[in-house]
Structure formats: C-alpha cells, structure tokens
Amino acid sequence: MSMENENITHRKLTTASGRPYAEHENTQSVGSRGPLLLQDFILHEKMAHFNRERIPERVVHAKGSGAYGTFKVTHDITRYTKAKIFSEIGKSCRIFLRFSTVGGEKGSSDAERDPRGFALKFYTEDGNWDLVGNNTPVFFVKDPKKFSDFIHTQKRDPRTNLKSPTMMWDFWSLNPESLHQVMILMSDRGTPLTYRHMDGFGSHTYSMINAENERVWVKFHFKTQQGIKNLDAAQASQMHAVDMDHAQRDLVEAIDNKEFPKWTLKIQVMTEAEAKSFRWNPFDLTKIWPHAEFPLIEVGEIELNQLPNNYFAHVEQAAFAPSNLVDGIGFSPDRMLQGRILSYADAQRYRLGINYEQIPVNRCPFMVNNFHRDGQMRIDENGNDDPNYFPNSFGDVVPDQAYKEPAWELDSNVADWYDRNAGEGDNDHFTQPGDLYRKVLSTEDRKHLVNNIVGSMNGINGPRRMQIINLQLCHFFRADIQLGMAIAKGLGVDVEQAMSSRH
C-alpha cells in the first residue's frame, strides 16, 4: 500500500513473529510515572531492529538510484551470439538498472564530479546477465592490482578526512594510463545533468559466441535517447548547494510522469584474427576501439518504466557482478574484467550475506538448481529433500555439456607482467586523449575542460605540489601541446623554467 493511496483498509499491527499487539507507542512501566519493565519485548524488538537497519554501504558506488524496465531486441545479431536474450527481433526481457556515483558515500551529492555507474541486470531465461559498466568507455587503470590504490585517492585523506586533490593528482601523475579517463572526468561529462542524459558503456571487451561456437570480441554501448546534457562546473556546484539528490529526484519524477527514459543498445565487434594483429592490446580498458574501424551495430533498446516500491529492498540490496554472464556471452583477457570476476561476488557476500542471490531483486526468476545449502538468511526451501551432493543416483540436477564454451587460444608464458610484455602502442597513453581534445570536444568544452583541470589542480598542496603539477603537465603536453600550454598558463607555471629545472 502506497503512502499516497487514500483508500486505506486497515491491517493488524503485529510483532515480527506475527502476534497482533495493542501498544506501539508507550512502554510498560511501574505505575504511570515509574521505571520501565524489562518484559516489554515490543520495546526490545523495535530498538534491536532499528540498531541493525544499516548494512555496509558499497565500498565504491555507494550513492545510487535504480529502476526496473525492459530490453527489446530490434536488430538480429544471432550471427554473433547464441544468447537467448538476443534470439529474435521483438523479444523482450525484464531488466533492473542502477546508476551511481563512484567515490562519495551514500549521503553524498548526485552532482559530484565523478564517473557514473551504469549497472544492468537482464533477467534472461538462461540466468541473470549483469553488465556492470560506467558512463565512460574507458577507465583510470588497466590492471586490477591498482584498483584499491586508485580508489583510496578518490575517498578521504586519512588524516584530514577530507577529499584530497593532492592524492588524486599524485596518483594520476604517476599513472599516465589514467589520462584518457581523467580528461573525460574533467570535462563537463564528469557532471552529467541527470542519469537520463548520459550514455552507458560495458567498457570492457567481452566475447560473443554463436551457435557454431565461433567467438568474436565485443564492446557494449548504450546511447541515451534523451540526448547528452551536462552541468558545467558552476551549475554543478549550484546544484550541489540546492539539491544533493537531484538525479534521484529526476529519475523518480520522470518515471512517475511516464516519461520513460530509453537507451539504444549498440555493439562493436572485432574478430579474433583482427584482435591478434591490432595496433595495440584491444583488451586495454584505457583505450577505445575507433568507431571508423569498428562501427556501432544496433541491437535493441532499453526502457526504464517501473520504480521499485521500496528503495532499500531493491536498489540498496541489488548485487551486480561481471561474473554473471549467460551462454553466448563470455569474458575476454581484459585484465580489469578478469579482476572484477572475483571482486563483486566477494564484496556482496560480505555486504549482503552468502545467500544474497535469493533477495528478490537478485533472484533469477527462471531456474536455480544447485547443491549450495544452508548459510545465514537462507530464505527459500533450501533444496527441500533433494540430494545435496553430486554425483548422486537419486536426483535430476545434472550439468549440461551444451553450455561448454569453446577454448581460448593463448600464446603466453606464465608470470608475464603487463608492461614488460607490452607491444608497440600499448604504452601510448596520449594519442586518444589528444584526439578527444582536438576532435571530439567543442571550443566551449575545451575551455571548460581547462578551467576544471586548473581548478582541481590548484587544490594540490604540500611539499610535493610542484613535482606533481610538473609531472602531470608533461602528460597533458604529450596529449596536446595547446592543452598543456593552456593548463600551465591557468596554473601560473612558467613552462620554460619548469623544463629547464628538469634537465
């Protein structure tokens, strides 16, 4: 029953165990003015449950908004994949989408400069497929071992408990592969107008496998049908001041008003042969695949059309994991994707408990048959009296060999580390950010980019300030001389003097 529904039919108030009771507001006492009685278990139940209301927030992407909707196939891609979700034009599938910011806490502002999460759950008949992406096609680092260090720089300084531009730029300047994502973040795309006005990306390279068991590499793109709209820095700080939850509010209002937001799903496809001879590692998450060489292929459309009626139950308890793939869609050697295969389910076992896949928003609505049993908060039939071991001579739950993936061809040695093995082009962290500056951003966008970078880098302080600034300036110069000069000028750095002091 919604709080907005006026036709109320009364239901009895009960304890958690279902016993109706009469007194909800006054605790039993010795006489009307005396001390309280220990036997008032209603008081205990209320206080105890309240004390346990908070669960750990997500270690990243803590602030978010979510809604249910549908995915519909509009174009045939069965030549690439046998995934049942794509089996015919017109087929539709229920979805849940959660948007988020990354670095802030659960109570932080929706207007923060940050990438935005774009996490999708497709409830397919072959199991839930999670595509846990962002609103950008690239990421700051390309090795999962760097992820926790990077995220620490986005959180609070251990001493001041404040966000620290010094930590951020120190890390970015020492990890030049971050430049591409840093430039996107520092442009106005770092502060989207709302969640409806941004694209989504699977970001990683995944694979698709067709009915003949042939594999191609793919990237997923979700193009907003609402148009890309951003806040500039002044608008973002104004928004921050007046409404910390503006993106949540926008999503609720749009769906309540039946203005259902939509995105077009497109893919890029690379064959295995093309990947082998490509100019750089096509599984490098800091680089995009040029659209001219790998054009976008239209697949379908997603629409958000139903707000969950309880935020905590559905949005807070939602658990997305890059390891949740379905038959016909597979992993790739992208090192970051490989790292994420471990991380998410591990985080969710801690955040929500071992049986988190049984929570309605996460539960596969089709079939779940396995030999997992027991554990905290087991809320289904726990396998009834079916055998709880395999192999067995009694049950009907068996692995189906039809779901076996074709093997990957690998040419490598054990214990090769990335940089040592990097081919030509792999360590070029500058060409694509330079192209972004020169070819994608408008004159206005470039001006904002420079101002945003200067504003942020001006926050670097402490004894290493100039060292960090000079190193980061080198990265900007390598991307584009004009960009480097504009930022140096904004920061009041005399480039010639800085260069001569380095030699």
Write out the two tokens for 174.
Answer: 């020492």
- Least distance (Å) from ligand HEM to the CB of residue 351? 5
The alpha carbon of residue 305 and the mean position of all alpha carbons in its chain are separated, in whole angstroms, by 20
CA angle 182, 185, 191 (to 5 degrees): 170
Give the Cα separation of 68 and 123 in Å (integer).
Answer: 11
Binding mask 226-255 for ligand HEM (x = CB under 6 A): ------------------------------
Range list of β-strands (E), 54-195: 64-73, 92-101, 116-124, 127-134
The number of C-alpha atoms within 13 Å of 344 and in the hemisphere containing its C-beta is 19
**Which of 41, 150 has the CB closer to ligand HEM?**
150
CB 23 within 8 A of CB 42: yes
- Least distance (Å) from ligand HEM to the CB of residue 357? 12
Write out the two tokens for 203.
Answer: 């970001």
Does 155 contact ligand HEM by CB under 6 A?
no
One residue of 42, 93, 95, 119 binding ligand HEM per CB under 6 A:
119
372 catalytic? Reply is no
Give the Cα separation of 195 and 228 in Å (integer).
Answer: 10
Tell me if residue 128 falls in helix, strand or coil: strand
Does 144 contact ligand HEM by CB under 6 A?
yes
Tell me if residue 485 falls in helix, strand or coil: helix
Start-to-end CA span in the chain (Å): 72
Does 176 contact ligand HEM by CB under 6 A?
no
Q: Which residues pair with 216 in a beta bridge?
A: 208, 271
Q: Kindly indicate which of the ranges 47-55, 57-65, 290-298, 386-394 contains the residues binding ligand HEM, using the contact rule CB under 6 A.
A: 57-65
44 catalytic? Reply is no
Stretch 78-107 residues interacting with ligand HEM (CB under 6 A): 98, 100
The active-site residue, picked from 5, 7, 49, 61, is: 61
Give the Cα separation of 179 and 170 in Å (integer).
Answer: 13
Binding mask 253-292 for ligand HEM (x = CB under 6 A): ----------------------------------------
CB 358 within 8 A of CB 378: yes
Helices (H) and strands (E) in the chain, counts: 15, 10
Nearest to 68 by CA among 303, 300, 280, 234: 303
**Which of 64, 434 has the CB closer to ligand HEM?**
64
Q: How many residues bind ligand HEM (CB under 6 A)?
A: 27
**Which of 303, 334 has the CB closer to ligand HEM?**
334
One residue of 308, 333, 339, 490 binding ligand HEM per CB under 6 A:
339
**Which of 347, 495 has the CB closer to ligand HEM?**
347
Nearest to 382 by CA among 393, 392, 371: 371
Provide the residue type at 119 as one letter. Answer: A
Binding mask 307-326 for ligand HEM (x = CB under 6 A): -----------xxx------
The alpha carbon of residue 3 and the mean position of all alpha carbons in its chain are separated, in whole angstroms, by 31
Nearest to 403 by CA among 498, 330, 303, 488: 330
Q: Kindly indicate which of the ranges 175-183, 339-347, 370-378, 451-459 contains the residues binding ligand HEM, using the contact rule CB under 6 A.
A: 339-347
Binding mask 63-82 for ligand HEM (x = CB under 6 A): -x------------------
Give the Cα separation of 284 and 334 in Å (integer).
Answer: 6
Q: Which residues pair with 223 in a beta bridge?
A: 264
The active-site residue, picked from 10, 44, 51, 134, is: 134
Residue 14: Cβ within 10 Å count: 10
Stretch 188-227 residues interacting with ligand HEM (CB under 6 A): 203
Stretch 341-360 residues interacting with ligand HEM (CB under 6 A): 343-344, 347-348, 351
**Which of 107, 406 has the CB closer to ligand HEM?**
107
Cα 403 to Cα 40, 227, 325: the distances in Å are 56, 39, 12
The alpha carbon of residue 130 and the mean position of all alpha carbons in its chain are separated, in whole angstroms, by 10
**Which of 191, 324 has the CB closer to ligand HEM?**
324
**Which of 221, 478 has the CB closer to ligand HEM?**
221
One residue of 304, 336, 361, 469 binding ligand HEM per CB under 6 A:
336
Give the Cα separation of 29 and 391 in Å (integer).
Answer: 60
CB 403 within 8 A of CB 327: yes
- Least distance (Å) from ligand HEM to the CB of residue 131? 9
Contacts of 489 (CB under 8 A, 6+ apart): none
- Least distance (Å) from ligand HEM to the CB of residue 493? 32
One residue of 37, 47, 48, 59 binding ligand HEM per CB under 6 A:
59
One residue of 117, 261, 300, 434 binding ligand HEM per CB under 6 A:
117
Q: Kindly indicate which of the ranges 60-68, 172-180, 257-265, 408-416 contains the residues binding ligand HEM, using the contact rule CB under 6 A.
A: 60-68
Q: Kindly indicate which of the ranges 129-137, 161-169, 391-399, 429-437 contains the residues binding ligand HEM, using the contact rule CB under 6 A.
A: 129-137
| Residue facing ligand HEM at closest CB distance | 117
One residue of 147, 260, 311, 418 binding ligand HEM per CB under 6 A:
147
Kindly report the backbone phi and psi dihedral angles of residue 208, in degrees, each rounded to the nearest multiple of 5, phi listed first.
-125, 145
Omega before 399 within 30 of 0, i.e. cis: no
One residue of 189, 221, 240, 340 binding ligand HEM per CB under 6 A:
340
Does 61 contact ligand HEM by CB under 6 A?
yes
Q: What positions carry a catalytic annotation?
A: 61, 134
Rule CB under 6 A: which residues touch ligand HEM? 58-61, 64, 98, 100, 117, 119, 132-134, 139, 144, 147, 203, 318-320, 336, 339-340, 343-344, 347-348, 351
